[in-house]
Amino acid sequence: MSILVVDDSKVSRLLLQRLLERGGFGPTIGAASAEESYAILGLTGGEARTDVELVLMDVELPGVRGYDACRRLRGEDRLRDVPVLMVTANLGPEHVQEAFNSGARDYIGKPVQEVELLARVGAALALKREMDARREREIELLVLKRQLEEANAGLQRLSTEDGLTGLANRRAFSTSITSKPTTTASGIRRATRSSSSSPARSRSACIGRRISSRVTVARSSLRCCPRRQRPVPCSSGRRCASRSSAWASCGATTSRPAPW
């Protein structure tokens, strides 16, 4: 694994490579433009010349600027996790924001200080290696999980097959029987009873409502005995005083129940 240093100034590029190698970060490889770095990384149709672990890129490059080159690297799946550190002399907020928006992991100001350079490069490499190790552990866990599922499926199959003939044994038969849903006799009786009694119950409720409504209407309309010739005692204990009228004005109902 190597570190790619992209800078159009040969002096600056060699200085950065020397500082990195002296600090224990090597080997390094240099590129004078973004197009040359594309060729080294295998983005121009050919194969990558080397495995790059980190890219140190100047912002002001001829042709393609460092921000655009960083976006190009972020667009490649195999280079998406490679950290890119931008080297710039413009440390204003808008330049720093543009560096991070382009996908840079960090930035280093010019003139480059050896302590700052080694610290930022070391932190970026440590984070990348930790992420790579975690990704490898996740892949191993997925492989182990798949192997465990296959082993459990094989054991389940062996437990339900006869070892000599390969046919289903008694355990498989018992499992298939117990897994089917069953309906008890009591449940069938309850369902039959409820289905048979529900129509009769609904008819009786309907008849009861009609009878009660008729009695209510009859009681509210009947004031006294309608028979002129033979008055019937009212509920108030009096006889109808008027024989010429069909209805008494006493306001009490008759004590004789309605015939319906």
Residues 8 and 131 in one domain: yes
Tens digits of per-residue pLDDT, 167-226? 777 777 677 777 655 555 555 556 556 555 555 555 555 555 554 444 444 444 444 444
**Residues 10 and 110 grouped into a single domain:** yes
Given 88, 110, 136, the domain boundary residue is 136
First to last CA, the chain: 106
- Are residues 130 and 232 located together in one domain of the fold? no
Output the pLDDT for position 218: 44
Q: What is the pLDDT of residues 149-170, one digit of tens each?
A: 988 888 887 777 776 776 777 7
Q: How far is it, in rounded angstroms, from Cα 185 to Cα 50? A: 77
Domain assignment present for 121 = yes
Answer yes or no: do 28 and 128 share one domain.
yes
pTM of the model: 0.56
Examine residue 228 and state whether it is found in any structural domain, yes or no.
Answer: yes
Closest CA to 260 of 219, 206, 229: 219
Q: For 54-73, what is the mean pLDDT?
A: 91
Give residue 85's Cα distance to chain centre: 36
Confirm whether 31 is domain-assigned.
Answer: yes
- Does residue 172 lie in a domain region? no
Average pLDDT over the chain reads 76
Please report whether residue 162 resides in a domain.
Answer: no
Say yes or no: 21 and 128 in one domain: yes
Q: Annotate the chain with DSSP letters as a single string.
A: -EEEEE-S-HHHHHHHHHHHHHTT---EEEESSHHHHHHHHT-SSS--SS-EEEEEEESS-SSS-HHHHHHHHHTSGGGTTS-EEEEES--SHHHHHHHHHTT-SEEEESSPPHHHHHHHHHHHHHHHHHHHHHHHHHHHHHHHHHHHHHHHHHHHHHHTB-TTT-SB-HHHHHHHHHHS----HHHHHHHHHHHHHHHHHHHHHHHHHHHHHHHHHHHHH--S---SSS---BTTS---S-SSSSS-SS-PPBSSPP--
Closest CA to 61 of 124, 113, 12: 12
The sign of the torsion formed by the CA atoms of 76, 82, 87, 91 equals: positive
Q: What is the model's pLDDT at position 114?
A: 92
Confirm whether 78 is domain-assigned. Answer: yes
What is the pLDDT, as a whole number, of residue 190?
64
Alpha carbon of 72 to those of 68, 88, 127: distances in Å? Answer: 6, 19, 22
Instruction: For residues 132 and 248, state if they share a domain.
Output: no
Does 132 share its domain with 246?
no
Of the three residues 136, 158, 188, the one that is the final residue of a domain is: 136
Bridge partners (DSSP) listed for residue 54: 3
Question: Domain check: are 107 and 8 in the same one?
Answer: yes
Asked whether 219 and 258 are in contact (CB, 8 A), the reply is yes
Residue 212 in any domain: the answer is no
Structural domain boundaries, residue 229: 224-255
Same-domain pairing of 23 and 122: yes
| Domain count across the chain | 2
- CATH number at 30 reads 3.40.50.2300
pLDDT in tens, 221-239: 444 444 444 444 555 544 4
Structure confidence at residue 78 as a pLDDT band (50, 70, 90): confident
* Residue 170 lies inside a defined structural domain of this protein: no
> Max Cα separation, the chain?
139
- Provide the pLDDT for residue 85: 95
Per residue in 24-40, pLDDT (tens digit) is 997 999 999 999 999 99
Domain-terminating residue out of 103, 136, 169: 136
Same domain, 129 and 245: no
